[in-house]
Structure 1
Amino acid sequence: MTRLPALHWQIAIALVLAVISGWLLGDVPAFLTFCDFAGKMFLNGLKMLVVPLVLSAMIGGIGNLSESSVIGRYGLRTLAFYLGTGTIAILTGLLMVNLLQPGIIEGKPAGPLLGLAADTGKVLDSVKDKGASDMLAVVVRLVPENVFAAAASGDMLGLVLFGFMFGYFVSRLPKELHQTQRAFWQGIYEVMIRIAKVVMAFAPLGVLGLVAPIIAKTGWSAFRPLAWFCVAVLCALAVHLFITLPLVLKLICRVSPLRHFHAMAPALLTAFSTSSSAASLPVTLESLENRAGVPRRITGFVLPIGANVNTDGTALYECAAAMFIAQAYGLPLDLPTQFTIVLAALLTSIGVAGIPSASLVAIALILTSIGLPLEGVGLILAVDRVLDMCRTGVNVFGDSCATIMVARLEGEDGILGMPSLKGRKPLEG
């Protein structure tokens, strides 16, 4: 019997086929109908798992921690990683746009030359009422008035806080009740992982259905007037993905970046295909636990938070897009303006939901903060979807690096095949 290649190779092959078929068959209605069906079914299957998987992973993970000091260490290290790498990502995007100046063509602002995308009006309708108060709304979303409504609407910020609190107080229960709760949530988690494996068996077909229509719709013509902007963003993302984060893995975590890339290949390809860190969460959890060897109590704590808070790629893109639009409009980019962009990108990226193109709302907030018209969003619409795929991959890889860092600093043994960083036994949960 012929053995199928590993899942990440199947997905990679599907991506190549999606590009070719989208280019050749993009005007065939039957093909696009099939792609729409396959893509939606796969994406729905992943999203179906997110709420029960996040809650069971987080409650089970934190519920296994018997000491408050351990939870505090996990939280501080996770937060420090997210803020540190997020700031570096934003500064990388800022530097690249300043070097390449994609918003300047032949010494003149590119806005009049580029024009606006045809569907700018739809985007403006969705973001025109956004303002500074929306940043406060991120804090309000942490405490949902109805946790079931939050689950139904996919408001993951509120669910993450609820899961954290529930798991914490599970760890404080008397022994008998504690064991019952642990067994219950452990059972749910195991069921979700098994369903996730069934869904991922259809990943190549789903990837084909998701990516081929994008190629068919945008083609390559959309990139020509925005080629330099795409180059700036992709170069900045590449620096963060292949230099900054691997340096963290090598210098702080003392693990092989190549091993980690190999372990995370299914999650990275899924993130690239779906443009959703939330939808990729089941695959990210499975990759870190079964391929990288990270204990569940750590993945259950770090990853659900990271999927909603740690968005390095998104923060980088928001900064680069705002700088590009400012250049295209001829706005003088003095240091105070650039500092405003950096700060706004860091704050708004935290509240961006893990869904495709949600960062357009954040970019609108940044434009408002520096006094630019919201119509500037139209300059990047043609290429936003494809760049969204790339930055989501960076987001997911950043989440995984944070998880590896927490595990290694906690003295866990066997992470990516490496001995304990501290030469001591792992903490007992």
Structure 2
Amino acid sequence: MKLSLSTKTLIGMVLGAIIGFIVGPKIEAIGFIGTIFLRALQMAVVPLIFFSVVTAIISMGDVKRLGVIGSKLIVLFMSTTLIAAAIGILVGNVIKPGKGLVLGDLPEVDKVDHAPTFSSVITEMFPTNIIQSMSEGNILQVIVFALFSGVAILLLKEHDRNKIQIMFQTLNNYIMKVLNIVLLLSPYGVFALMAVTAGKYGTSVIGPLTKFIGSIYVGLFLQLLLVYFILYFLFTKKNPFQFFKKISPVWITSFTTCSTKATMPVSIKTSEEELKLPKDVVGLTIPLGASMNMDGNALWFGVVAIFVTQLTGLEMSISEQVIAVLLGVLMTLGSPGIPGGIFVATTIFLTSLNLPIEVIGLLAGIFRIMDMGITTINVVGSVVVAAIVGNKK
């Protein structure tokens, strides 16, 4: 019996976890295989984003349709992210991961004294040099330039528009072919990535931060079950279990790579081929979701806020918790433009709430364990939104 690529990849993930636990930290010797796989996936992500967004807008054939779909995406993205941050706060209050915990010898962290404002987040979306934005992998700026390009093409005369549409469609098909070749390496890349993660962190989950790690995963599960399952069923009237089974390649890739960008080609391919969603919806939703739909990150901020207050014996009032939720959502939008990733963002987040930041260095050491789930929720959330917006009733 010939196995599908997704089945082979799943087998690779399971075998990697087993062998990683058995061999231990020495398995890191094969880490370069996973790194090569990740780099191969990421090498074509920026052109994929640009070509797919432009092609999606041209395919709509109408600026009004872009406005309708775009407004739906923004409402759904912001709503699910807001709920995720609130779930993080709720889970932290119920499980109390920092209550009674004493941590010594915490690594020092440089203090960052400013949080992104709404106006700064919006301003940073607009590039001053698109070549620089592409080279730095600034997804939001690439998307904004692609939006302008797509609308400009729609406004051209029909003869010119048709010629450019054929060119962009061909380039989009070409870049997807490149990524399809890379995806053939999935079983081996996923095996290496999972083996290294299991070997390196297999024993470190047993410790004082186990309760914190558990809180993150309980929150992620609630986001999946109470938000994604319900939203998908309400808007599509279809079986959510079948839906989540169909997108198994997205689960596996995001869980093992811990990279939203690296999973993007898999999300696009799965949405178009397995879910049969309209290409224009997928081409706009998945790239946009990679920057605007960070539900896992928002939930992380919520749990961290409660964890640190409990750790230090402080109490957050209801109004302060509401502020933490709103700030968490803002941080998910501001994070892509912050060098250093989620921990620089977390430092700013805690500083803005007047909370101590020393614990961040310790959390950074085991973040990979949680990042597998956080990235998966980020990516799956975008696919769920694409399925809702692209649903053909």
TM over 0.5: yes
Q: How does 1:67-86 map to 2 (within 5 A)?
A: 67-86=62-81
CA 1:357–1:53 in 2, change beyond 3 Å: closer, same or farther? same
Aligned to 2:190: 207
The aligned counterpart of 1:95 is 90
> Counterpart of 2:368?
385
Residue of structure 1 in register with 2:231 after alignment: 248
Aligned to 1:145: 128
1:53 to 41, 48, 51: 48
Matched, 1:17 2:15: yes
Q: Secondary structure at the match of 1:293?
A: coil
Q: Distance in 2 between matches of 1:270 and 1:88?
A: 25
Q: CA deviation at 1:7?
A: 2.3
CA distance 1:223–1:344, shift in 2 (3 Å): farther
- Structure 1: distance between partners of 2:260 and 2:356: 29
Q: Number of aligned pairs? A: 393
- Give the direction of change, closer, same or farther, for the CA distance of 1:317–1:356 in structure 2 (3 Å limit): farther
Distance 1:215 1:135 in 2: 39
CA contact (8 A) 2:285 2:386 kept: yes
CA drift at 1:269? 0.9
Letter of the structure 2 residue corresponding to residue 397 of structure 1: V
Structure 2 partner of 1:32: 28
Q: Distance in 2 between matches of 1:268 and 1:221?
A: 24
List aligned pairs for 1:330-349, cutoff 5 A.
330-349=313-332
Aligned letter for 1:350?
A: L
CA drift at 1:146: 1.1
Identity fraction in percent? 28
Q: Deviations over 1:324-343 (max 9, x none)?
A: 11211112111122112111
State the alpha-carbon separation in 2 of the partners of residues 130 and 302 from structure 1: 33
**Contact 2:63–2:154 (CA under 8 A) maintained in structure 1:** no
Which of residues 283, 303, 314 is equivalent to 1:300? 283
> Which amino acid is 1:289 matched to?
E
The Cα of 1:305 is off from its aligned counterpart by 0.8
Contact 1:92–1:240 (8 Å) recurs in 2: yes
Gapped regions of structure 2 (runs ≥ 5): none
Work out the CA distance in 2 between the residues paired with 1:221 and 1:154. 32
1:221 alignment partner, SS class? coil
Query: CA 1:115/1:135 → structure 2, altered by over 3 Å: closer, same or farther?
Result: farther
Q: Does 1:220 align with 2:203?
A: yes
Q: Report the alpha carbon displacement of residue 393 of structure 1 after superposing the two structures with TM.
A: 0.6
- Equivalent-residue separation in structure 2 for 1:202 and 1:321 (angstroms): 36
Q: 1:38 deviation in Å?
A: 0.6
Deviations 1:306-326 (CA, angstroms, capped at 9, x unpaired): 110011111111111121112
* Equivalent-residue separation in structure 1 for 2:31 and 2:10 (angstroms): 19
Distance 1:203 1:241 in 2: 25
* Partner residue, 1:364: 347
- Deviation, structure 1 residue 116: 5.1
CA RMSD of aligned residues (A): 2.0
The 3 A distance-change label for structure 1 pair 217 and 366 is same
Q: Distance between the aligned counterparts of 1:46 and 1:172, measured in 2?
A: 33
Tell me the equivalent position of 1:163.
146
Residues 190 and 147 of structure 1: CA distance in aligned 2, closer, same or farther (over 3 Å) = same
User: Which structure ranks higher in relative contact order (CA pairs < 8 Å, sequence separation ≥ 6)?
Assistant: 2
Kindly state the Cα deviation for residue 386 of structure 1 after the two structures are TM-superposed: 1.2
State the TM-score, normalized to the length of structure 2. Answer: 0.95
Distance 1:231 1:374, change over 3 A: same
Task: Quote the residue 1:65 is aligned against.
Answer: 60
